């Protein structure tokens, strides 16, 4: 009866995984996926979202672990925890299991040790599923990976291929990681990304867009303005900050290409909520009236996230009949998917 729902879920899911392969390939994982996306990658949010949905894409899950062993020193663990605390991606046990792996075996283990003890689940369950949501075979506890098993997740031993490379220095998408390599793991890197993407920024909006505390952004901007590289403008007792024209173009515009900063945390959370709900509903046999009701509840549940990331493709603006609403939802899901997944060359 709801074949369109299953088809929509499958298409949306495939777009998610294709997008994630392209995002991680820009950061250096071994992949044939290529992208020319000029949107700056947010590695913390990308990691949280990936650890949630890639339980259905095991190969990418392990390539991400491989990448973390090679590049994990550039992850801001404090910011990672702040984003997870606010948005609660469905990845807590996975995150702590990966952190425990890195704390035990990587060359920068201390930064991950606290996170390794943060998330657990009492019951044990398989880590991986196939695309239809069926659990994949997993070993007995005796043969399972101990770091994941200690957090309630059963999987086989991890055999890293060690194919991950350093991130691409010429890719606009890797600007944040490049700045962290230059300036360290601190708010200055995010601030420069924001300034490179906008004519000017206000500290409160910069804090929302970067997932830092406003005081941290405010203090850092005041300090950076003392360099003369960042200029200020005061309007109605509010201060705005902008880059001095041309002074950092060689650094902030790789290959003379402009970059774009996206508020990724609420955007990825929107995707996660939609995807999980579509997976749940596609496995049920429910009538059209109840399905429409559940989809309307879904739209209401993501309203705040959509507002935070200025998404207007999915909303409840009118009263629809059941047939009209189903069509409306499908069309708007396509628009939303195109905006997120298919605008890499814009």
CATH number of the CATH domain containing 245:
1.10.10.10
Q: 255: pLDDT confidence band, cut at 50, 70 and 90?
A: confident
81 in the same domain as 47: yes
Query: Is residue 310 scored above 90 in pLDDT?
Result: no
Q: What is the pLDDT of residue 342?
A: 67
Last residue of a domain, one of 203, 226, 256: 256
7 inside domain: no
Say how many domains are in the chain: 2
216 in the same domain as 150: no
Mean pLDDT score of the chain, rounded to an integer? 89
86 inside domain: yes
pLDDT in tens, 115-174: 998 998 989 999 999 988 899 998 898 999 999 999 999 999 998 888 888 888 888 999
Q: 82: pLDDT confidence band, cut at 50, 70 and 90?
A: very high
The model's pTM = 0.93
36 in the same domain as 74: yes
Q: What is the pLDDT of residue 196?
A: 93
pLDDT in tens, 257-273: 888 999 999 999 999 99
Bridge partners, 230 (sequence order): 243
Q: What is the pLDDT of residue 335?
A: 84
62 inside domain: yes
Last residue of a domain, one of 123, 154, 185: 154
Q: What is the pLDDT of residue 237?
A: 85
Q: What is the span of the domain harbouring residue 220?
A: 172-256
Query: Is residue 313 scored above 80 in pLDDT?
Result: no
213 inside domain: yes
Which one is predicted more confidently, 319 or 276?
276
SS3 track for the chain? CCHHHHHHHHHHHHHHHHHHHHHHHHHCCCCCCCCCCCECCCHHHHHHHHHHHHHHCHHHHHHHHHHHHHHHHHCCHHHHHHHHHHHCCCCHHHHHHHHHHHHHHCCCCHHHHCHHHCCCCCCCEECCECCCCCECCCCCHHHCCHHHHCCCEECCCCCCCCCCCCCCCCCHHHHHHHHHHHHCCCHHHHHHHHHHHCCCECHHHHHHHHCCCHHHHHHHHHHHHCCCCEEEEEECCEEEEEECCCCCHHHHCHHHCCCECCCHHHHHHHHHHHHHHHHHHHCCCCCHHHHHHHHHHHHHHCHHHHHHCCCCCCCCCCCCCHHHHHHHHHHHHHHHHHHHHCCCCC
193 in the same domain as 146: no
Last residue of a domain, one of 122, 154, 186: 154
pLDDT in tens, 29-65: 987 767 778 899 999 999 999 999 999 999 999 999 9
Range in 53-57, 224-228, 303-307 with the lowest mean pLDDT: 303-307
Query: Is residue 88 scored above 80 in pLDDT?
Result: yes
326 inside domain: no
276 inside domain: no
């Amino acid at each position: 009866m709801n074949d369109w729902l299953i088809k929509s879920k499958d298409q949306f899911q495939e777009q998610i995984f294709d997008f994630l392969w392209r995002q991680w390939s820009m950061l250096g994982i071994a992949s044939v996926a290529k992208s020319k996306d000029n949107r700056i990658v947010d590695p913390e949010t990308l990691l949280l979202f990936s650890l949630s949905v890639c339980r259905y894409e095991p190969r990418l899950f392990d390539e991400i672990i491989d990448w973390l062993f090679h590049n994990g020193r550039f992850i801001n663990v404090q910011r990672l925890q702040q984003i997870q605390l606010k948005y609660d991606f469905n990845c807590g046990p996975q995150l702590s299991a990966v952190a425990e792996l890195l704390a035990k075996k990587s060359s920068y283990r201390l930064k991950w040790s606290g996170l390794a003890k943060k998330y657990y689940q009492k019951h044990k369950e398989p880590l991986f599923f196939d695309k239809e949501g069926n659990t994949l075979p997993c070993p007995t506890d005796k043969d399972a990976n101990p770091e994941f098993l200690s957090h309630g997740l059963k999987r086989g031993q991890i055999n890293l291929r060690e194919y991950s490379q350093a991130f691409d220095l010429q890719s606009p998408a890797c600007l944040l990681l490049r700045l962290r390599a230059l300036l360290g793991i601190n708010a200055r890197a995010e601030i420069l990304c924001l300034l490179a993407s906008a004519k000017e920024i206000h500290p409160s909006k910069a804090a929302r867009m970067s997932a830092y505390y406003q005081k941290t952004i405010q203090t850092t901007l005041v300090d950076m303005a003392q360099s003369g590289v960042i200029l200020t403008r005061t309007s109605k007792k509010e201060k705005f900050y902008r880059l001095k024209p041309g002074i950092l173009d060689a650094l902030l515009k790789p290959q003379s290409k402009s970059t774009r900063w996206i508020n990724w945390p609420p955007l990825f959370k929107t995707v996660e909520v939609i995807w999980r709900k579509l997976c749940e509903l596609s496995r049920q046999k429910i009538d059209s009236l109840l399905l429409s009701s559940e989809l309307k509840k879904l739209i209401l549940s993501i309203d705040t996230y959509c507002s935070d990331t200025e998404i207007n493709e999915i909303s409840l603006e009118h009263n629809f009949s059941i047939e009209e609403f189903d069509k409306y939802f499908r069309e708007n899901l396509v628009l939303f998917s195109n905006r997120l997944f298919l605008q890499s060359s814009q």
